[in-house]
Structure 1
Amino acid sequence: MISEIMKKMIEQTNGNTHDIDHFIKVWTYSKLIGELEKLDENTQLILEIAAITHDIACPKCREKYGNTNHRYQEKEGMVLVSEFLNKFDLTDEQKARAVYLVGHHHTLKDINGQDYQILIEADYIVNADEMNFSMENIKNFADKVFKTETGLSLLKTIYKL
């Protein structure tokens, strides 16, 4: 199923290689962190689905708002990913959780669940590189937001903290 979702997301980007590269990187880190943190199979599946689809709203946000502001991504993303996931054989609970994660993937308050925490961490690892975050920003995020042993270890290794 993950491969099918990945293929459909790639098709949906209309050849935007930045968007494709971004969600593949976030998915890769999410998969790695989730597996090393020993998530159960269902939670891992939901995490990977959310990682692949987390920025589903970016093309619409660029067109509608002229930017991909985090609030717009979360708002528009919930509707888009809900429709998108109807094409796949998921339970209502799996779909609802993936939609929730997409709709909160930039919200750092009230993080509930390891899948949510890992998605935040994986997206940050990728964004730190793509957006050239300062070392101060990275250290601050590591101290205040990262909670998983694996995510923190990866962040420290990649950014030499």
Structure 2
Amino acid sequence: MVNLEKVAAAAIAYDAGDARRVQHLMKVYAFCRLIGRSEGLDAHQQNVLEAAALLHDIGIHQAERRHGSPAGIWQEKEGPAVAAPMLRQAGADEQELARVCWLIAHHHTYGAGEDTDLRILFEADFLVNAHEQNLPEQTCRAACERIFRTETGRRFLRDMFLEKPYQPAAGDEK
């Protein structure tokens, strides 16, 4: 099993001085943890998913240096090479390392497959991006139909972005 505390510490240290990105990775990690557990991933799948969540955007700085852009395609290209040493230091075996790196290399490629861990990573990243980027309701509705596969992820998306907040009726206030 990958030591998630070591992965988190390495990712935070790598992103030192970039609090926005550290906050982003921690939020994606939290949603992956919640969705994965709610959807019944086994302990090994959950551990790999959480490691990928912590490192999903780890290629951004390298993408900006090499390609002048943080675009998803460059994050996917640069991320695995940055992540691999961190994963080895955190005790990942070769299968775990390969899967986490594959998830990093595909976390913006919505057509990459239907594996549950990949779909959960898409969903968690979208939930965080929807808030951080203040995405319009119609974008969230389209994502619910086209991207989201888990019932937990769909529920979180609906609850956060598509349902109207409770408003007490006149005279119901206490």
Which TM class, normalised by the smaller chain length?
over 0.9
Match of 1:126 in 2: 128
By how many angstroms is 1:150 displaced?
A: 0.3
1:27 aligns with 2:48: no
Match of 1:14 in 2: 16
How far apart, in 1, do the equivalents of 2:142 and 2:162 lie?
14
Unaligned runs of 5+ in 1: none
Q: What amino acid sits opposite 2:42 in the alignment?
A: D
Identity of aligned residues (%): 31
Q: What amino acid sits opposite 1:31 in the alignment?
A: R
How far apart, in 2, do the equivalents of 1:110 and 1:96 lie?
16
Match of 1:104 in 2: 106
By how many angstroms is 1:124 displaced?
A: 0.4
Pick from 146, 149, 169: which aligns with 1:147? 149
| Per-residue CA distance 1:71-91 (angstroms, 9 max, x = gap) | 000000122112321212122
Unaligned runs of 5+ in 2: 164-174
How far apart, in 1, do the equivalents of 2:153 and 2:30 lie?
12
How far apart, in 2, do the equivalents of 1:148 and 1:126 lie?
16
Alignment RMSD? 1.1
By how many angstroms is 1:60 displaced?
A: 1.5
- TM-score under structure 1 normalisation? 0.96
Q: Which runs of 4+ in 1 moved over 3 A?
A: none
Q: How does 1:49-88 map to 2 (within 5 A)?
A: 49-88=51-90
Q: What amino acid sits opposite 1:80 in the alignment?
A: V
Moved more, 55-64 or 9-18: 55-64
How far apart, in 2, do the equivalents of 1:44 and 1:27 lie?
11
How far apart, in 2, do the equivalents of 1:65 and 1:89 lie?
31
Q: Which has the larger radius of gyration?
A: 2
- TM-score under structure 2 normalisation? 0.89
How far apart, in 1, do the equivalents of 2:133 and 2:67 lie?
20
By how many angstroms is 1:64 displaced?
A: 2.4
Count of matched residue positions in the alignment of Structure 1 and Structure 2: 161
Moved more, 16-25 or 89-98: 89-98
How far apart, in 2, do the equivalents of 1:90 and 1:76 lie?
19
